[in-house]
Structure formats: C-alpha cells, structure tokens
Structure 1
Amino acid sequence: MTALRWGILGASNFARKHMGPAIHAAKGAELAALATSSPEKAAGFQAFAPGLIVHDSYEALLADPSIHAVYIPLPNHLHVAWTLKALEAGKHVLCEKPMALEADAFDQIIAARDRTGKLAAEAFMIVHHPQFIEARKLLQGGAIGKLVHVDASFSYFNDDLQNIRNQPQAGGGGLLDIGVYTFGAARFVTGQEPRRISHADIRYENGVDVFAHVAATFEDFTYGATVSTRMAPYQNLTLRGEKGVLELTCPFNANVFDAAQLVLETDGSTVTTQRWPAVNHYVLQVENFCNAVQTGADYPCPLEFSQGTQQMMDMVFKAGGPPGQE
C-alpha cells in the first residue's frame, strides 16, 4: 500500500520536536513537505527528514498535488480557516487541538469533511495510547465497580507574554490549551457527557485564563478538574468506584512528563500496575489516521467526539463568567 504523503503547515517547535518526527516514523506515512518562509526553521525538519520539500507559503503546499494529508500546528485562532482550506484543496487534515474555539464551529468542518470525502480530525493523541484504551476497558468491564467520581489535573508554568498561549487574540489560555485533555479524557474513558457544570472558578491574567477549578455532574458520576498555566508541572487522572480506584499518573504527556502508567487498586489491598515505556502516542495517532484513510477503518477520534469536548469547554466558560467577573 502506498504511503500517505504528509505536509506540515508551519514550522512550530512542537511540530519539529514531536509531530514531525512522529509522521516520519509512522508506518504508512511519509513526511514529504513543509510550508515555511524560514530556511532556518526548515533546517530543523530536514535534519531528520532529508529530501523534505519546502514551500514558502501555506497556499503553495496545499496546491502541491503530491501531498495527500496535512498536519496543522498553527495558532488556535487559525485552525478552522486553514482546516477548511485544506479540505477544499483535497487534503486530509489532522489539526492541533483545540480544532475550534467554540463547539458550533465544528459544524462547518464536519460539513466540509462530508462534502469532500476527506478525513479531518483533531490531534487528540491520548485516545490512541494503550493506557487510555485499557483504562476504558477496565472501567466499562466493572473493574472498580460503579463509578462514583473522576478527578483530573493538568498544569505547567508559563508566564511568557510573548508565547501564543498567553495571547488572547491567538486563542490562548489554559483551558483551550490543556483543559481539552482533562475534559476529553473523562468523556473518552467513561463514554458519558456532562449534564451540568456546578462550579467554575476561572482566573484571568492579561485576557487569558491561567487557572480553572471545575466541578461537573455527569450521568452517573461527579467530576472535578484543575487546570493551570501558572502552577508547577503536574498531571493525573483518577477514577474512583465503589470497589476500586483506577489512576493514570501520566495521562497527557506520556513518556515526556513521566512514564505512562496505569494503576488499578481493588479490595483495598490488591494493586496492579501497567507501564508502556516505549509507546509513542503521536506515532500511533498518525498510524491510525493513515489506516483510516487507506482502509476506510473508523478513526478513534472523530470530529463529533472533539465537538463534544468543546461543548463541555463552552459550558465551563459560560459557568465561569467573562474575564474580570468571579
């Protein structure tokens, strides 16, 4: 089967460090092109992908008939527009999260996907990792009994105002950057949706949210999350049931923040730990994307799932009120 030829719109540091190498390493994929006007930035990609075609504009890459799929790591506020342009240019699209800044914006992406027949998806890599697949299997198989409560936390420290994550005009803020993980992880593992947001304490600096404490009620369990870009690095997902506890100690940056690890405690005394030291969820994401394109298989993270996470995000922002109001 012919490899899917990929292009990247923009030479971001994340693309150079993670997704570029993942596309290059993935089975069924070939990193073939990059769009950037900076020879210096292009050199960082050519170091691991010699022979890479470099286009000096996004439009030029989209017009390249040899490219089948594009990865979009642009600032958040540009995601919808360039996803739509890429789909209309006949490319499959994997776009960084958040794919849109509000849930309703997914409607036009879904419509474009259906109209063009091309695969479009948000780069929500965690659902491709075996620790999440196993967690969902264990939970839904009754390993901890009836689920009662879910806790999710994700934080890191970044007060650099030149960074796009701290720029409101670029769709910055902690919730859009990493809250998508704390919300989407709970939805993926449990298969349930929030009924209401009972509490949302959101704190802002320079027009972007830098701390959020959220409480929600799902169909069968309660939920709490802490998200911050002004706290020490930390991440955790814990599911507490009537008969046990399931914990992912490094759920979001597996083997970067720490080792990917799933801990199941039952009967108050039995602990089972699973680890995946060699798994790269970015590579798995690309391979699943290529497989879906090439075989027609279902993609593990369709747009409808990503829209659901953004709907929860919208609910949280509404419950927290506008910046400056608490």
Structure 2
Amino acid sequence: MTVNWGFLGAGWIANRATAPAVRAANNAQLFGVASRDRARSAKFEPQNVYDSYQQLLDDPQIEVVYISLANHQHLEWVTRSLEAGKHVLCEKPLGLNAIEVQKMIECAQRCNQLLVEAVWTRWHPRFKRIAEVVASGEIGELSNIESQFTFKSEMTENYRLDPALGGGALLDIGCYQINAWVALTNGAKDLKINTVERKLGPTKIDLTTDVKATINNQIEAHFISSFDFDAPQKLKIDGRSGSIATESGESFSTWREPSSLRVNDRIEQFYSVDAFVEMIQQVSEQVANNSGWVMPLTDSLRVAQILDQIIAS
C-alpha cells in the first residue's frame, strides 16, 4: 500500500531531505504541498499544489501530513491536522514546551490519529545499535554521557534567531542530545540539572547552551549545543565495564554516508543510509499496517519536560 503524504511548509529541510525521502520510500508518495509560496511548493513536483494549509487538510486523499513550519506554529497546525483526520509527522521540537506537547498528545488520542516527532536520527541504524548495546548490558551500568552538537552559521532572516518563534541552539540542536539521554537511560526519569551556561546573541536567543546534569542518580551527563562555533560532533557513553563512541560520520547528523561506532575495543561499520527514508517508510508502514517503528510520544514529552527544566535553570 502506498501512503499519500501532504507537506505543510516548503523550507530547507523539507526540500533537501524529507521530500527526497518520500520519493525514495517504497510505500509513500508526495501527494501535495502547501506553503506561503505556491511557486516554491510547485518545485517539489507533487501531484497537487494547494493555495493554503487548510486546503491541503481538506483533501480527503491526504493520509499523513508532514509539518516543517516554524516551531511556534507546530501546536496550531498539528492540532488542525489531527482534527482533520490526518496522521502527523512533525519536525522537532514537537512543541515550544511540555504543555504544548501534552496538548498535542491528547489531541492525537482524542482523534485516534498517529502523531510522531521527526527526530530522524532515532531511525538511524547506528543510533539503534547504540541503544541495543546499552540495553544488552555489554558496557555495564551507565556512568557518563558526553555529547556535542555545534556549528557556525550567520542565519539571517531565520526563525531560529527569534526567541518568540522558538529559536535558539537548545531547541534546535540540543533536543537531539536530550533525545539520546532519554533513549539510553530508560526515559531519564530522575534528572537533576547541575549547571547551565549560556551565551546569548543580539536577538536574545541562546547561541550556546552548555548543560551538566545527573540522570537517575548515577549517570553524569554533559552536552554543548551551539550556533557559535564549529567543532566535531561527539557522543560518548561510558559504562562501569566499557564504553561506546561514535567514530566516522557525524554523531547526530550523519546522512547518506558510511559511519562507524566504537564499542569497547572493536569498531562496527555501517553502510551509507538515509535515515529520513527509514523514518518515512516506518511511519508509512505504521499508518498502513500498524507495524512500523515510530518514536514513542512518551519520549517526546519527556524531552520537552527536560528542555523546560533547562530553560528554567
């Protein structure tokens, strides 16, 4: 069965990654696109171009809506999409805070529709292998998680520069690292923020956020997210009897390239893969046959709660 996808938004990530993923998936097709610019929507070469977001939602042939609008628009259009009887894949962060995420979850349950946060790295075979090794106990009880996701960008006229629109490094790329915390520590159920250091930019967004925390009373965790400097991405997990670390391929954004993982004294290799395609195929499979793997909404909510905790610190 081929699932009909509709896109709300035609920005960079939709154009470069998600639309090609839908075209590459064996169980999905790009049925329609709606954005503020009809010409930009048409460049995606969908079967249909709509004049408004609502017009797309009114089309009964659309089964899944992918939302890549600015962060502050997620709550409104996730809710409208669900209430229109559509399943939803929404870009991260799912909401600006945990209250918004909880509202979306309740709406999905009320409407009996699938809601998934598009944290695409969670579908990458290397990250799935990291979670598998941790769960197996091969490196023992976890003691430390160290990570870094930074890049240098001017980002002129970008919503990421506006705090009112959900901008800033923490929400944009810190969320990947908190997802790792949640995925690898059984939900990071008990989390204490020890320190938070921020560098604010001219528009008052966080250009850099540096966080140290203790998870489940035994794991020391530290991450840096930044728009202000270039440095290699990093993810290293230490246990009582071993360690795991990403090697070749960016730790959180490796895409269409081979990658590798160090587990204790061995290196595991991973073929080039497009995790966006994996995500689209699994969401489509879940919609069609209720048999695809999707990121649990409990994880999305817990990540949002931790983001709130950091922001309040």
What runs of 5+ residues in structure 2 fail to find an aligned partner? none
1:273 aligns with 2:273: no
Tell me what 1:224 maps to. Answer: 222
Seen in structure 2, the aligned counterparts of structure 1 residues 176 and 311 have a Cα distance that, compared at 3 Å, is: same
1:180 aligns with 2:179: no
Question: Which residue identity is paired with 1:304?
Answer: T
Seen in structure 2, the aligned counterparts of structure 1 residues 4 and 233 have a Cα distance that, compared at 3 Å, is: farther
Task: Report if aligned partners of 2:27, 2:285 keep a CA contact under 8 Å in 1.
Answer: yes
Q: Distance in 1 between matches of 2:306 and 2:285?
A: 29
RMSD: 1.6
TM-score (norm 1): 0.90
Q: Distance in 2 between matches of 1:160 and 1:18?
A: 19
How much does 1:195 deviate? 1.9
Q: Matches of residues 231-242 of structure 1 in structure 2 within 5 Å?
A: 231-242=229-240
Q: What is the aligned counterpart of 1:149 among 126, 140, 144?
A: 144
Tell me what 2:300 maps to. Answer: 306
Q: Distance in 2 between matches of 1:10 and 1:142?
A: 42
How much does 1:111 deviate? 1.2
Aligned length: 308
How much does 1:287 deviate? 1.1
Tell me what 1:262 maps to. Answer: 261
Tell me what 2:205 maps to. Answer: 208
Q: Distance in 2 between matches of 1:93 and 1:300?
A: 12
Partner deviation per Cα, 1:235-254 (whole Å, 9 max, x = no partner): 11100122222002423111
How much does 1:37 deviate? 4.6
Q: Distance in 2 between matches of 1:201 and 1:114?
A: 37
TM superposition outliers: structure 1 runs of 4+ over 4 Å: none
Task: Report if aligned partners of 2:74, 2:90 keep a CA contact under 8 Å in 1.
Answer: yes
How much does 1:160 deviate? 2.8
1:284 aligns with 2:281: no
Q: Distance in 2 between matches of 1:278 and 1:185?
A: 21
Three-state SS of the structure 1 residue aligned to 2:273 is coil
Question: Which residue identity is paired with 1:272?
Answer: R
Three-state SS of the structure 2 residue aligned to 1:294 is helix
How much does 1:275 deviate? 2.5
How much does 1:298 deviate? 6.3
Q: What is the aligned counterpart of 1:295 among 289, 292, 301?
A: 289
Tell me what 2:112 maps to. Answer: 117
What runs of 5+ residues in structure 1 fail to find an aligned partner? 266-270, 320-326
TM-score (norm 2): 0.94
Task: Report if aligned partners of 2:22, 2:280 keep a CA contact under 8 Å in 1.
Answer: yes
Tell me what 2:22 maps to. Answer: 23
How much does 1:197 deviate? 0.4
Q: Distance in 1 between matches of 2:41 and 2:231?
A: 30
Three-state SS of the structure 2 residue aligned to 1:230 is coil
